[in-house]
Structure 1
Amino acid sequence: MNNAKIANLYSLDQTIAKDLFEGKQYPWEVLPLISEFIIKLGNTLDLDKFEKRGENIWVAKSATVAPSAYLNGPLIIDEGAEIRHCAFIRGNAIVGKNSVIGNSTELKNVVIFNNVQVPHYNYVGDSILGYKSHMGAGSITSNVKSDKTLVVVKDSYDTKEEIETGLKKFGAMLGDHVEVGCNSVLNPGTVLGKNCSVYPTSSVRGVIPNNSIFKDKEHVIKKR
């Protein structure tokens, strides 16, 4: 399932968490490892650039954090990031350089690459968002199936391959430069390839190949 492999989704030089992905084939393999990785990495960060706030929380001195934002560890907020009014970071989160976590946006067990925007009323849980990806207002990652069974990644648009992840909680994997339209739902196990665009109010599932436009499940087309 090449469309879902780390090498085809992410520019690993665009995250402080590059080493987290070392030796892994698929990005969701790192989800159970985020917490431990943050604690290990946080204790090595340059204190001239980062300050430690509470238990296992490291915030770059150049980052902007609104007084109303809630920060829970383990957490790393990298340089130049902006955490806006009433953002709710529940823990196990890495927020990349120059990224924006917007008003009333909730994060939990995530890796946010550099220059990512989740700026308005987003929920991002058990997910990885690649370099310069953007989630429109109100778009969310749904991270638990309604029947509470383990998540299976399905490549319905290419090889018809399925991969059992062994994970009950798994939101979405967004490759670099992905655009998600407003009020869309990314269902558990969704993988959006590099440079994909999703129409507003969409319900997305499965693996969407690189450079695609998702209009609805019957209309996934290649960008020209």
Structure 2
Amino acid sequence: MYTIKDLYDLDHTLAKDYLLQFTYPWEALKGIKDMILALGPTLGDDYKEVAENVWVHKTATVFPSAYLGAPCIIGPETEVRHGAFIRGSALVGANCVVGNSVELKNVILFDHVQTPHYNYVGDSILGYFSHMGAGSITSNVKSDKKLVVVHNGTESIETGIKKFGAMLGDYVEVGCNAVCNPGTVIGRHASVYPTSCVRGVIPENCIFKNSGAIIERKAD
């Protein structure tokens, strides 16, 4: 339930070929910068290199006060709104929203991802049509600075990396002011209640309540 195949439809990101090299999504975090540097020059005339190693699609909207740090790619019809801070190593897909006071660092955002208000997203991968509510963040370093471990019930998966925020599957909804602790993995079509403190693996089609309880989503 926590492999790339389980979490993502790779037809909705320019990182498809890159991600196909890996089994688990966190394995891709270390190479995001190099992937963007290799991918950028191949994008064609629809993208403009607006600064060194910063490529923006001609249909994207970048507001004047937004900062785009290299390397990054901003996809078609995406909005990067006032005060957004892209620190670098960010691949942002098509029809995305990077909103007011949002900070991105070492991330892949699939198409139609929304991080619209006051979000921090670092060392993370956000799947197709995933959404982070206002003020929700990914915490990407443990307080004891030890390597991140993914916990799935009684199972513990050693990642071997120090910086690892969250892996959000396709169509994940994270409620306002929720915190995704280091090593969080949320399955497709899962939801997180507002103000929750999330950790470990949340199965697909489930709801994580702010009490910590996980319930299966009822069929429509």
Give the TM-score category using the shorter length: over 0.9
| Pairing partner for 1:61 from 58, 62, 82 | 58
Structure 1 segments, 4+ long, off by >3 Å, are none
Report the number of matched residues. Answer: 218
1:46 aligns with 2:37: no
Instruction: Please give the per-residue CA displacement for 1:68-122, whole angstroms capped at 9, x wherever unaligned.
Output: 0000011000111100000000000000100000000000000000000000000
For residue 51 of structure 1, give the secondary structure of its aligned residue in structure 2.
strand
Structure 1 regions of 5+ residues with no counterpart? none
For residue 30 of structure 1, give the secondary structure of its aligned residue in structure 2.
helix
Could you tell me which residue of structure 2 aligns to residue 213 of structure 1? 207
For residue 128 of structure 2, give the secondary structure of its aligned residue in structure 1.
coil
Give 1:53 deviation, angstroms: 1.4
Provide the C-alpha distance between the structure 1 equivalents of 2:51 and 2:79, rounded to a whole number of angstroms: 19
Are the aligned partners of 1:82 and 1:99 in contact in 2 as well (CA < 8 Å)?
A: yes
Provide the C-alpha distance between the structure 1 equivalents of 2:13 and 2:21, rounded to a whole number of angstroms: 16
Provide the C-alpha distance between the structure 1 equivalents of 2:93 and 2:211, rounded to a whole number of angstroms: 31
| Pairing partner for 2:134 from 137, 144, 163 | 137
Could you tell me which residue of structure 2 aligns to residue 8 of structure 1? 6
Could you tell me which residue of structure 2 aligns to residue 150 of structure 1? 147
Structure 2 regions of 5+ residues with no counterpart? none
Are the aligned partners of 2:195 and 2:210 in contact in 1 as well (CA < 8 Å)?
A: no
Tell me which amino acid in the other structure corresponds to 2:5: A
Are the aligned partners of 1:86 and 1:104 in contact in 2 as well (CA < 8 Å)?
A: yes
Give 1:23 deviation, angstroms: 2.4
Could you tell me which residue of structure 1 aligns to residue 178 of structure 2? 184
Provide the C-alpha distance between the structure 2 equivalents of 1:31 and 1:23, rounded to a whole number of angstroms: 12
1:80 aligns with 2:77: yes
Could you tell me which residue of structure 1 aligns to residue 33 of structure 2? 35
Task: Give the alignment of 1:193-208 within 5 angstroms.
Answer: 193-208=187-202
Tell me which amino acid in the other structure corresponds to 2:102: T
For residue 52 of structure 2, give the secondary structure of its aligned residue in structure 1.
coil
1:122 aligns with 2:116: no
Are the aligned partners of 1:204 and 1:217 in contact in 2 as well (CA < 8 Å)?
A: no
% identity of equivalent residues: 63
Give 1:162 deviation, angstroms: 1.1
Tell me which amino acid in the other structure corresponds to 1:207: V
Provide the C-alpha distance between the structure 2 equivalents of 1:187 and 1:57, rounded to a whole number of angstroms: 29
| Superposition CA RMSD, Å | 0.8
Could you tell me which residue of structure 2 aligns to residue 173 of structure 1? 167
Could you tell me which residue of structure 1 aligns to residue 102 of structure 2? 105
With normalisation by structure 2, the TM-score equals 0.98
Tell me which amino acid in the other structure corresponds to 2:65: S
Give 1:218 deviation, angstroms: 4.1
Provide the C-alpha distance between the structure 2 equivalents of 1:217 and 1:130, rounded to a whole number of angstroms: 25
With normalisation by structure 1, the TM-score equals 0.96
